[in-house]
Chains A and B, each alone.
Chain A
Amino acid sequence: MVNRKLVSKALTMQRRKPTVYSTRWAMILCVLLSPFGNINASLASDTNTISAEKTTVINSQAKTSPCYLDGMAEQLQCGQITVAENPAKPDGTQIDIHFAILPAIKNTHPNEALLAIAGGPGQSAVEHAAGFDRLLSKVRQQRDILLIDQRGTGQSNILNCEDSSVTSTLAFDDESIDMIAETQKCLDQTTADITQYGSETALTDFEAVRTYLGYNKLHLYGVSYGTRMAQLYMRHYPEALATVTIDGVVPMQQSVLAIGSAIERGFQLLIRDCENNTACQQQFPELLADFTKVNERLAKSPVTEKVKDPLTNEPSTFLLTRSKFVGAVRMALYTPAVRALLPHAIHQAANEDYQAILGIYALSADGVGLAMGMHASVVCGEDIHRITEQMRKDAKESYVSANMIDGLEQTCEVWKMPPVDDDFSQPINSDLPTLLLSGELDPATPPNWAALAKKQMTNAKHLISPFATHGVAAQTCANDLIADLVNSNSVKDIDASCLEKDIRRSFYLNANTVEPQLAQAAPSTDDDAASQNATGTDKE
């Protein structure tokens, strides 16, 4: 007798697999990430390991067997299909594609399912079952939710790079890392044909799982990098789709490495929001100057601090480089609650107190849950050759993106992927009912990216949440709108007014509070700047 959505939403934020992914890479290279499993993971975190513990298959004919997934108490259905690693060589190496079904509560549409596609690239969808379940609980009332571990992630022949050396992530110097050697080491570890782990090959697995399970139509929900998979699905198998929702959209027309300007924009919005907020403005009047100050200090030389390890409390050395600092700030921008701590953290850092930055850094220091090998296969095949002059110019001004592009170019020298055809960059032509979601504050995929993706979609609606960051459905009422779309098969009647509800988080004013004391501040500290760019459909 429980309203599932509410129960689960309460225990938001969690779970990620603590595999030893190459953590060094992760911080520097990961381009997109999805709202699950990144740093908001640890806020109220509990669970960690995946326990796709399979009970015996009762019926050998059954396509799935009961299983339990991390963070979900109920029994779900898991299964796998075997496909050729290289579709052109059907008799060559075979790999297993694992999937999980969250069965509909009352299955009124047994021939349909919603396929939820994770981000990254490199995140496992099955590992994030609990997050998707919360998000899509309304859809699940009447339809199955299908999660597939894309090849190279999760349990589907994961391509990750394990660290051989177990040095502390706190002390190591990420700026002196030899990316080429690291990549080579990773490449030597794997026996897989890395060229087969791009998006288009993975798409054939998705379609194979769909036909295997006998669903006539799929509804898609793709988030972050998952939006690319969803768009490819629209391009190659439109007949298999009913509706599409893409959240935090990466348009086909451009490389994800254009993210540099998005990160910059996300940071500028943080500065703006703080300036427009009376309490934040009073407390941190020089926020931008503070940030620049820390950057300049760290650019001269990294700071070494004696600290207690954030997790174990062991005395440790914390080497704070500029790239670690900027990386931590960038990661914090993804999650509204952590973003709220940034002004305080930056201000303290400017005053040479790095505790808060250490705390934020530690959230993502033990890896962000990406299969870095698969990540490289995607980026090196689909994005690296699409870097434009404009992007290089932008990158010169953005430390983060310059760092990222440099690192990835070195990686891709070793991680050789044939570049995708030029057709890959064509916009998606589609008349499928498509909902595009963007967060105004998104530090990865800003609203104009979705507008670009929408160009040749004739039956699409683009909604912008003024207060969300990356992954709108997880932060706002947009998950209800997905259910509306799935139920009505049409974007026309979607009422997006709920997105305008003010759900901003107040900034931390010190290490303890978000609420200004009324004696100091005016009773209404709410700014109106943010509400000016009110939600609405994209009018183009």
Chain B
Amino acid sequence: MNKLIAMVRKELIDAARDKRSVMAGLYYAIGTPLLMCGMFMVLIGQLTSPEDLNITIQKAQNAPDLVRYLGNKGINAVDPDSAEKGPDIKDIDIKDITLIISDDYAENMAKAKPAEVILQADNSNEKLQKSIQRLKRELQAYNAEMGSLRLIARGVNPQVMQSIKVNVQDQATPDSRGGMILGIAIFTMIYSVFISGMNLAIDTSAGERERNSLALMLSHPISTRQLVLGKVIAVTTFALLGLILILLISKVAYAFVPWQELGFSINISTDFMALMFAIGIPVALLASTLQLFVSFMAKTFKEAQSYLTMVLFVPLALSMAASYNIAPDALQWLPVSGQQQALMDFIKGKDIPMMQLAVSSAATIIISIALMLGLEKMLKSEKVVFGL
């Protein structure tokens, strides 16, 4: 036991000695939540329709009531002719949406014929979509109101137009509405488990071999099992350190994003942090054993790096797939994706699928143990130890 502790200490001291590469491993954990939050802050502004939506309305004089109605809903008409005149007109953000009111608008309307307005806009422009929808909605509302008034003028109750009443009862909770973003957030956290320990895993395996210190280690009176365990524990510790960091930073950073503008909130609670950490332990174990295993398989440091990037894709693909709601149910039972799903259910306020979580965590641990046994066996072979 003492030997094992000494082994872990050695690994950790070794790792900490190279401060730059330690930091490089943890930059991800620190930077990702900050970058994501910054990105969302910008995106939210782009996705929502501005409070004052300025559009061009041509021939506004044909329908002053409609123009004022839209104005009351925050959709302002900017006169295309005066656009050059005003000095501060350039400061106004005019969306590329044009409403043209037909010349026979008033004439048709007086005869209760449909009066034509033309809406010109590029519906494929994602930045405009919300604004276009909003304009359409308001036009629809104006249309409905006018229709109602026409019926009233004819002595008919406008309720007759509503033959069925649809009352939607949305089962979503305020937390689950942010599901997609939460999925991405959890994904970045799981990713950090894999990233944070990676440098150390390569360094302590392929790196140590390149520096010829691996053989020296093995010549000490310790078993291969102790050596493997020591390395695994050291790498796992680093992975978990990364996880703790990203959790702490996410908790602070996510609170700053104005999620409410999108109609939901994202709250990283301490309960979630505790659960994420607990679930993260087997995942970290899997990450470290997998990374060590692949690194030992490789002959050189550089080769290890390339292989790892490829191999890591598998658990990350699982995690990413699970972060979308369209994921097949089978993913709930697999390692990594099972945990990710359980975390998402927790944060959405649903019951955690304990069975699936237990199975996927058990699978994670079994794979890790298998990999450790594999490592142990590998290190008994000279080919591996000397990288022949």
- Which A residues form the contact surface with B (CB < 8 A)? 1-4, 6-7, 9-13, 42-48, 51, 53, 68, 70-71, 73-75, 103-107, 141-142, 307-308, 310-311, 313, 337-338, 340-341, 344-345, 354-356, 358-360, 362-363, 475-476, 501-506, 508-518, 523-526
Question: A105-B264, A512-B110 are contacts. A12–B141 as well, Cβ < 8 Å?
Answer: yes
A506 near B65: Cβ-Cβ < 8 Å: yes
B221 to chain A, nearest CB (A): 59
B21 at the interface (CB under 8 A from A): no
The residue of chain A having its C-beta at the shortest distance from the C-beta of B61 within the complex is: A523
Question: A505-B69, A508-B153 are contacts. A1–B141 as well, Cβ < 8 Å?
Answer: no
Question: A2-B263, A10-B141, A510-B110 are contacts. A46–B153 as well, Cβ < 8 Å?
Answer: no
Question: A105-B263, A341-B152, A511-B154 are contacts. A505–B61 as well, Cβ < 8 Å?
Answer: no
Interface SS majority for chain B? helix
Report which of A1, A141, A503 forms a contact with B71, defined as CB distance below 8 A.
A503
CB-CB under 8 A from B48, the residues of chain A are 1, 3
A106 near B260: Cβ-Cβ < 8 Å: yes
Question: A6-B74, A105-B260, A518-B61 are contacts. A504–B153 as well, Cβ < 8 Å?
Answer: no
CB-CB under 8 A from B63, the residues of chain A are 515
Interface SS majority for chain A? loop
CB-CB under 8 A from B160, the residues of chain A are 311, 313
The CA of A283 and the CA of B148, in the complex, are separated in Å by 22
**A–B Cβ pairs within 8 angstroms, 14 of them:** A3-B134, A10-B140, A10-B141, A106-B265, A356-B155, A475-B72, A503-B71, A513-B110, A515-B64, A515-B65, A515-B66, A523-B61, A524-B61, A525-B64
A108 to chain B, nearest CB (A): 9
B5 at the interface (CB under 8 A from A): no
B42 at the interface (CB under 8 A from A): no
B162 at the interface (CB under 8 A from A): yes
A1 near B262: Cβ-Cβ < 8 Å: yes
B71 near A7: Cβ-Cβ < 8 Å: no
A341 near B149: Cβ-Cβ < 8 Å: yes
The 6 A-B residue pairs with the shortest CB-CB distance, nearest first, are A359-B152, A355-B155, A73-B168, A511-B153, A506-B65, A106-B260
A45 near B162: Cβ-Cβ < 8 Å: yes
CB-CB under 8 A from B264, the residues of chain A are 105
The residue of chain A having its C-beta at the shortest distance from the C-beta of B52 within the complex is: A498
CB-CB under 8 A from B74, the residues of chain A are 6
CB-CB under 8 A from B170, the residues of chain A are 73-75
A1 near B265: Cβ-Cβ < 8 Å: no
Q: By the criterion of a CB under 8 Å from any partner CB, how many residues of chain B are at the interface?
A: 65
The residue of chain A having its C-beta at the shortest distance from the C-beta of B177 within the complex is: A74
Report which of A9, A141, A508 forms a contact with B261, defined as CB distance below 8 A.
A141
CB-CB under 8 A from A505, the residues of chain B are 65, 68-69
Q: What sequence of 0s and 1s flags, for each residue 95-119 of chain B, a beta carbon within 8 Å of any chain A beta carbon?
A: 0000000000111011110010000
B260 near A44: Cβ-Cβ < 8 Å: no
CB-CB under 8 A from B173, the residues of chain A are 75
Q: What sequence of 0s and 1s flags, for each residue 262-295 of chain B, a beta carbon within 8 Å of any chain A beta carbon?
A: 1111000000000000000000000000000000
A512 near B112: Cβ-Cβ < 8 Å: yes
B226 at the interface (CB under 8 A from A): no
CB-CB under 8 A from B263, the residues of chain A are 1-2, 4, 105
B224 to chain A, nearest CB (A): 53
Report which of A6, A75, A360, A363 forms a contact with B134, defined as CB distance below 8 A.
A6
Query: What would 16 more interface pairs be, CB under 8 Å, given A75-B170, A106-B258, A359-B153?
Result: A2-B262, A4-B263, A6-B138, A10-B137, A42-B159, A43-B144, A43-B158, A44-B158, A45-B158, A46-B166, A141-B261, A340-B149, A359-B151, A515-B63, A518-B106, A526-B64
The CA of A107 and the CA of B175, in the complex, are separated in Å by 12
Q: What sequence of 0s and 1s flags, for each residue 108-151 of chain B, a beta carbon within 8 Å of any chain A beta carbon?
A: 01111001000000000000001000100110110011101111
